[in-house]
Structure 1
């Protein structure tokens, strides 16, 4: 059972005082996830945001949960301008190195590339990072996972990555579609061949828990059950289950049974096992 989008470690100036830095809390969260039936977690924390790559193998061995690490770059607002300037001419090379050689000195190779769009648009930073991600994909075959700001811009992302830059659609994972429950856009993205991630349950300020079953049922009934992914997207310490929030176990404890009522148990099991295995597969 795979949580296809979550965070064990994350630090950003946009989340002051809410950083995920505590390794013991990350371990406890993984244990809680495993006890709920979880077996793997895809950490979408990219370069420069405190992903603590060297700790990931230790956590995985201690808890028995497989962890997939990311390279990539988030929106510009998450970084100091000088860091962006330093990466300006070597971003694709960085992504390739982290996919093939390892993250920093940890020896942990990234399994995918995480980038981000903007609200209903792709600014110059998004186009730059996605162009580098496409170059790294063509060099390695690694999938590209995209943060869609408030769930918007999915078709613009596909036009750029798949249309202009030649990335196969089944190597693109669109994140946060639950935040913009536009069933027509979801259908068009699925028809294009991308994977659609509904990630971030229980966020009261987003259209998540209460609309998500309708969105995924519409896609399943249209024949796109093999395109669906589910994730928790725990981004703050207070959102962890061990700190009183829903956390990673919520995905299996509450979201899974609710979706089984809408989709049936067999399809939900595929969404949590087979689909992420294919979406994040890489032939090294």
Structure 2
């Protein structure tokens, strides 16, 4: 039976409700000094606001070694009534010190599998997807190593693989590696940040391969392309790929949270979804937030 692996256990896909398919409750990186997401109270408030707006599930794409705070996720889920999906995997190498990466050499796939099947550290919280990352229009040696480990973990567990595309680029190279050389089924791959590079031809080619396409934001850093997202989704829908679209918020700094005056998680349902409905209709937006997300995340776990 296909289920979605949440921090409180496996649930039926139909229980997710409206899904924020890419966001962060906790995040820490040397590339974002002073902008860490570490406050449990702020995470709770953000989830409560998302729930009040009609949200049902948040997928945290924070991977191994970036301050996931997995042990805090179950209580946050219980207290707010929001399903949470945690991630394993690895981001780009610039987000880690060499000691962290060295400790994973030769065993990354085993770590991913353990976090998917047994739990993250001593928390007992099992991850529900694998997150990896590409580079700007290219895949370096680290990306290829991490994706190879992710593919191995996928083949062992069935877990979906979510991919950070740097500035929205490199989608086809990622698919060539993951779905070509590494034989991951395309419907188990979620490409993130496609709104940051609104190349409709690449979007259509990626969708034609059979993967899911996540449009996540907005943010100050990538605002220049935010306004083109409805057109990009409409183009995919017109080409018959509306059932492969996902939406997320991707909150990566404390200032971006709604509790600190930013758009935060509620913005996805309060402003993004209604704006998108003007372009593609309310029914497709409903499917994007519910049916599409549940299919992308649901797995026959091995």
* TM-score for the superposition, normalised by structure 1: 0.99
Aligned to 2:188: 171
Aligned to 2:212: 195
- Work out which of the residue numbers 241, 246, 251 in structure 2 matches 1:224: 241
CA contact (8 A) 1:33 1:248 kept: yes
Aligned to 1:98: 115
**Residue 62 of structure 2 corresponds to residue 62 of structure 1:** no
Query: Shift of the alpha carbon at 1:283?
Result: 1.9
CA contact (8 A) 1:200 1:208 kept: no
> C-alpha offsets along residues 142-191 of structure 1, whole Å, 9 cap, x if unaligned?
00000000000000000000000000000000000000000000000000
> C-alpha offsets along residues 17-67 of structure 1, whole Å, 9 cap, x if unaligned?
000000000000000000111010000000000000010000000000000
| CA distance in 2 between partners of 1:49 and 1:34 (Å) | 25
Query: Shift of the alpha carbon at 1:203?
Result: 3.2
CA contact (8 A) 1:36 1:252 kept: yes
| CA distance in 2 between partners of 1:203 and 1:219 (Å) | 25
Aligned to 1:131: 148
| CA distance in 2 between partners of 1:8 and 1:267 (Å) | 27
Unaligned runs of 5+ in 2: 1-17
CA contact (8 A) 1:202 1:208 kept: no
> C-alpha offsets along residues 219-269 of structure 1, whole Å, 9 cap, x if unaligned?
001110000000000000000000000000000000011011101000000
Q: How many correspondences in the alignment?
A: 284
**Residue 153 of structure 2 corresponds to residue 121 of structure 1:** no
| CA distance in 1 between partners of 2:92 and 2:293 (Å) | 24
> C-alpha offsets along residues 84-111 of structure 1, whole Å, 9 cap, x if unaligned?
1111110000000000000000000000
Unaligned runs of 5+ in 1: none
- In angstroms, what is the RMSD of aligned CA positions? 0.8
Q: State the SS of the aligned residue for 2:162.
A: strand
CA contact (8 A) 1:199 1:231 kept: yes
- Work out which of the residue numbers 43, 47, 50 in structure 2 matches 1:30: 47
CA contact (8 A) 1:54 1:108 kept: yes
